[in-house]
Structure 1
Amino acid sequence: MSEDAELRRLRWRCRRGMRELDQLMLRYLDGRWPQASEAERADFLRLLDTEDDKLWRWFMGRERPGDDLLAHLVQRIIDLPH
């Protein structure tokens, strides 16, 4: 798959149905994905497989992911410049 096609597919997967989650995911995709390591990219893909309500609780700080790698990625996304 070409890189452009992959980015289009990922951009579609970042659409979560909640504007705030869309913005967080797209901020990562646009600002961090290009230089992310393969391991971090794999973590982001796992994050995209997470249910929206769980993502919302994680990003709002109401819960913490049980997986330390995902917890680190959630914090990294929160810390990205707006």
Structure 2
Amino acid sequence: MNNILVFITLSDSGIETIKSNPELPKKEMEFVHQWRADGILESFFISVSRKDAVLLFREMDEARVKELIETLPYFPYMEKVEYHNLNKQF
């Protein structure tokens, strides 16, 4: 299995919805922290603008990663989600 890099861009209207509901970021981060604790999420980055995020899942297939992303509270507010299969070189 490969590592899967996920690049997420939130919609402008989604960002406004998220900003107006302080519980959403807390719920979102619960997923991220659980995935990290489970050992499936290697890295997580948020852009300075907070509109984009990059997640790196380890040793998972793309179909399973897509299922996980679709469970996120932010999923309805995502404008674009890109999945990239990566082979780690070192």
Same fold (TM over 0.5): no
User: Which structure shows the higher strand fraction?
Assistant: 2
Higher relative contact order (CA 8 A, sep 6+): 2
TMscore range, shorter length: 0.3 to 0.5
Computing the radius of gyration from Cα coordinates, the structure with the larger value is 2
User: Which structure shows the higher helix fraction?
Assistant: 1
TM-score (norm 1): 0.34
